[in-house]
Amino acid sequence: MNGKKGLAAAFTALFLLLCLLPSAGMLLWGASDPVANEIPAAAPSLRERDGSVNGQFLEDFTDYMNGRFAFRPEYITAWAKLNAALLGTSTAEDVLLGSDGWLYYAPTLDDYTGSALMTEREIWCAGRTLYLLQEYVQSRDGTFLFTIAPNKNSLYPEHMPQRTPLSAQRNAGELAEVLEEMGVTYLDLFSLLGGQEETLYFRGDSHWNGRGAALAADSILEALGRPSPGFYNGPFRGEQTHRGDLYEMLYPAGDELETDYLYAPGLQFEYTSSSTDPDSITLATESPDGEGGLLLYRDSFGRNLYPYLADQFAQAVFSRKNDYSPVSMEPGDCVVVELVERNLRYLNQYSPTMPAPERPAETAAGAREGNGEVEVTVSSCALEGYVLVTGIFRGLLPQSDSSVYVLSGGTLYEAFPTPDGFSLCLPGTADSFAATAVFFTAEGNLVQLSAVQ
């Protein structure tokens, strides 16, 4: 009996210690840093800005403590490892626990299973947006290229959790077919990366490693018609220095590192931007041995990619903005858009910023009056002398493969289409602007709808 009482007392003491340790730790060693990419809650205040009492102080205090208590990363890591070992499950919402230590980004699951396919209209609109971008770049004697960075599980499904079906129909594949029909220059990284014997992505990260980025860079340069030193052929120096983003989400106090690869000959480019942080919104570089100019729109996959390309261009700009603005290119520049597979819908959510292309007036000839209207909004535009015009269709909708045209000031323009509307930059001011009509094809007929501001 005494043995049982002693065990119970020891368990109780251990439980109380674990409960008190976070609070005591904050007094002795201070609060914990945020985990991974978390944004911690601000310290609570008893008073609002206007001097009144903060009625939500206790809630604010709870949020603050939950995100900053001492040893929080260690507690989260211990709980995650316990769940992984005993239940085979992940405690991080955005992390899927695969086999053999592989981790996958949970938001890619819809792409993997095909449970959230884009509609025909969404795919076509995304393709048309890229077509209009390419048309503008080529009008300035430039070279355009679009490529998709594959989701990790698209290339390496063998370590995915069991009973997770891989869909044969994918948004990336559907978009690639539309781009081919439209004549948009597209680089297929799925076949390229998937055709290699070596693994080019990290086990505990959602991105490609240094060698994967090098192979992508070689292929981008080739697709642009430019010579490449053959970065992928190396030589490379392997260093066990990489801490995966998924690993950090799941095990914030973990200390496991993976091998990444650095191009051993080194790269010659230099930064001309004030920031050299690879995750900056904008980076600018120059290279003494490079030729021409490059404007690359990239996402997190560009972190490992951009140094190789920076080395090959005399001047280069790397942007993480989603509203592409090719007007910043110099005549003759190369413009590349790299977008990860899971974010292809961004092409319909963020319209490029550039002058809308003019179309012949006869394009809208013979249009019938449609049953519906277009709700138009006019706002300021980043382009000087232009306004941003967006519209939402009320009633009749375009057919899946229809362009959208806007008549303004007696000139017909083509808009960037979205599944239920459009966006374009038109010359003028918000005070003087007036869109008189919108045209598109519906039910096999070209129709005209009134624009209502």
pLDDT value of residue 443: 84
**Mean predicted confidence (pLDDT) in 102-110:** 95
Domain ranges of the chain: 105-349, 358-452
Q: Mean pLDDT over all residues of the chain? A: 88
Closest Cα to residue 393, out of 357, 416, 412, 421? Answer: 421
Asked if residues 441 and 434 have their Cβ atoms less than 8 Å apart, the reply is: no
What's residue 320's pLDDT? 96
Amino acid (1-letter code) at residue 316: A
Structure token digits, residue 202: 């990290």
Q: What is the pLDDT of residue 429?
A: 82
C-alpha neighbours within 13 Å on the C-beta side of residue 405: 21
Judge whether residue 73 has pLDDT over 60. yes
- Read off the pTM: 0.86
Q: What burial class does residue 204 get, using C-beta atoms within 10 Å of its C-beta: 0-12 exposed, 13-18 middle, 19+ buried? A: buried
**pLDDT at position 83:** 86
Distance CA 390, CA 148 (A): 27
Question: What is the pLDDT averaged over residues 93-98?
Answer: 94
Domain 358-452, CATH class in plain words: mainly beta
* pLDDT above 70 as % of the chain: 85
For residue 216, pLDDT over 60 is answered with yes
pLDDT category at 431 given cuts 50, 70, 90 is confident
Mean pLDDT of 185-211: 97
More confident residue, 20 or 260: 260
In the predicted model, what is the mean pLDDT of residues 348-369? 93
pLDDT in tens, 433-450: 776 789 999 988 999 998
Tell me the two tokens of residue 260. Answer: 């990444």
Distance of alpha carbon 387 from alpha carbon 433, whole angstroms: 8
- Evaluate whether 383 touches 353 at the Cβ level (below 8 Å): yes
SS (H, E, C) the chain: CHHHHHHHHHHHHHHHHHHHHHHHHHHHHCCCCCCCCCCCCCCCCCECCCCCECCCHHHHHHHHHHHHCCCHHHHHHHHHHHHHHHCCCCCCCCEEECCCCCEEEHHHHHHHHCCCCCCHHHHHHHHHHHHHHHHHHHHCCCEEEEEEECCHHHHCHHHCCCCCCCCCCCHHHHHHHHHHHHCCCEECHHHHHHCCCCCCECCCCCCECHHHHHHHHHHHHHHCCCCCCCHHHCCEEEEEEECCHHHHHHCCCCCCCEEEEEECCCCCCEECCCCCCCCCCEEEEECCCCCCEEEEECCCCHHHHHHHHHCCCCEEEEECCCCCCHHHCCCCCEEEEEEEHHHCCHHHHCCCCCECCEECHHHHCCCEEEEEEEEEEEEECCCCCEEEEEEEEEECCCCCCCCEEEEECCEEEECEEECCEEEEEEECCCCCCCEEEEEEEECCEEEEEEEEC
Minimum mean pLDDT range among 236-250, 270-284, 298-312, 364-378? 364-378
* Mean pLDDT of the region 381-390: 92
Confidence of residue 291 (pLDDT cuts 50, 70, 90): very high
Query: Distance between CA 364 and CA 440 in Å, rounded?
Result: 8
**Mean pLDDT to the nearest integer, 9-13:** 58
- pLDDT: which is higher, 294 or 410: 294
